[in-house]
Each structure stands twice: as C-alpha cells, then as structure tokens.
Homo-oligomer: A and B are copies of this chain.
Amino acid sequence: MELVERARRGDRRAIARLITLTENETPEAAGILKEIYPFTGNAHIVGITGPPGSGKSTLTDKLAKELRKNGKTIGILAVDPTSPFTGGAILGDRVRMSDLSLDDGIYIRSMGTRGKLGGLSKATNYAVKILDACCFDYVFIETVGVGQSEVDIVKTADTTIVVALPGLGDDIQAIKAGIMEIGDFFVVNKADRDGANRVVTELQAMLDLNPHKTAWIPPIMMTVASQNEGIAKVVETIDQHFSYLDESGELMKRRQQRIELEVEDLVVQKLFSYINKKMGQGNRYIQDIEQIMSKEKDPYTLVNELVKESLK
C-alpha cells in the first residue's frame, strides 16, 4: 500500500491518515494492520498515567524534549476523554503541545476515548502500532483518569510510569493504590509543593507490601516538570528499564503476552459481532427475550442454547 510506504518514510500526513483509517475502523483498517505488522516491535512503548492534575502532559512534553537532545524520535499519543455530548476531545492536548509539533522528530496525536469512558480504546492500540512501524524510537501513551485505562496501558506499554502528586485527598490515594501494581516506576511530580516527601514515603510503603518482587525494584523519583527538574533522571530510568526488560527476557515475555491478549480480544470481538448478528436474525430470539421478560425462561438457559447452536 502506497500510503504505508509514505508513512514509513516519515510523511506526517500519511501517518495521520493511517491512524484515522484504523481509528474509524474503515474497510482498509484490517489490511493496514496486517501490512504494518512486520515493521512493529522496534519502538520502546512507554505508558504515562496518573490522576488528573498530576501534570502528566507537561512531564511527557519535557521527556520528549530531553530525548530529542540525543537525536531520538518520539511519537506521542495523548488519550483524551471524549465528551459524550459533543464527541470532541475535552482537554485539548493538541493545542497544548503545539510547540513540540514543529519538531520533525516528534509526532503528536490526541486520541479521543469515544465514549468508552476511561478505556484506552482499541484505536490507541492501533495508533501505537502505526507509530512503531513508522520508525519512532519511542512511543509515549499518556492517559488521564483512574481505572480501566491504566490496566489497558499495561497491556500496550513496555514501561509504565505512574505519576503522583502531593496533596491529594486520602481516598484518591486509596484509588491510586489500585494502580501501584502496574507501575514500573513512579514519578512524584510538582515536587516543589508541600507533602512531596510524604507521598514518596507512602508510595515506598505500598511498594514494600508487594509480595511479588522481581529483580527490577520500581524506583520512585521526584520531578518539577514545569521547571525541567528531574527530567534527565526519568529519561535515564526509562532506558534502564528497557535494558532490564531486554536482558532479563521480560521484554519478549511481555510482548508475547501482549500478542496473546490481542488475539484473545479480537476473537472475543468477532464472536460478539457473530452472536449479535445471530440474535438479531429472525423471530426466534425476539420470542426468547419475551419469554425471559415474562419469566417463562431464564437467560442462562438461552445462553446455553445459543452457545450450543454456534459451536462446531
């Protein structure tokens, strides 16, 4: 496909077009994904997540600038919650990052979650692959929110950075506990604020509780991203983590798991659309649902019937 070739030579409009085509799940999408697949697997994919207001965007921005000093290229996907009413992205990252987008070695794209609240959408996963195949050295995925999106990042990223900040209330801290397990390292941003040391201590205490220790001990570091403080150290740690993954065999293991998960997800999606079509056909299913509504039948019996009818 000529578009793929152009994108792989660094044509930004072609890259944008590929992302849009897969994002909208056009008929071309499957072919694009197949074609780029052999070129993937070279980028270091870094997830950056944390609660709202932790300054993830500024941090991502500064990390990218730091990496540029070493001649590295960076693709940035800013996953932005979509307003369900307007369909548009809410936070407007596109605008925020515009000074970076003048640099040819950086490509920035805002991804709306399109109503899949908090979920890093399938589209983001496709966009990661496209940027990877288009030869960026690093792909950063930056997500807002607490919840499912963090788990989804782990599925896609080689390295996950959890960003915290001083001075949040106690139960935001509690929720943060839920994302402790996914952090390969932790950055306490806005560390010039009161309470930064306390957050570091709390994070350390939580990490010490982790019974599943590996050779990689998740470091905790402080930054003031807006002042560029601590940024070089974070970049260094990103690279150290990649070396650890590579040398320990963990990288291959994670990437294999990622492929298995992706295959499973796609299989589920296909099954779902198959069943959806099957159920949508004819009067039988309508009758079934009516009987369930009137309690003559229960949903579990119908499920067993449908499964039996579907499988070879």
Contact = CB atoms under 8 A, between A and B. Distances in A.
Interface residues of A, number: 79
A37 B52 CA distance: 41
Number of chain copies forming the complex: 2
B293 A179 contact: no
B267 A174 contact: no
Interface stretch (A12-20, A231-239, A273-281): A273-281
Contact of A259 (B115, B150, B272, B299): B299
Contact of A175 (B119, B144, B259): B144
B90 A178 contact: yes
A248 B271 CA distance: 34
Interface stretch (A62-70, A102-110, A205-213): A205-213
B301 A34 contact: yes
A95 interface: no
A84 B182 CA distance: 10
Contacts of A84: 177-178, 180-181
Interface stretch (A71-79, A134-142, A218-226, A303-311): A303-311
A220 to B, nearest CB: 16
A41 B295 contact: yes
Given A85-B210, A210-B85, A268-B272, A117 B177 contact: no
A270 B179 CA distance: 28
A266 B260 CA distance: 21
A53 B300 CA distance: 38
Contact of A171 (B91, B210, B275): B91
B118 A146 contact: yes
A217 interface: no
B37 A303 contact: no
A3 interface: no
Contacts of A175: 52, 81, 90, 144-145
A148 interface: yes
Given A266-B299, A299-B262, A303-B270, A172 B85 contact: no
11 contacts: A34-B298, A34-B301, A38-B295, A84-B177, A90-B174, A90-B175, A147-B147, A259-B292, A266-B300, A270-B307, A274-B307
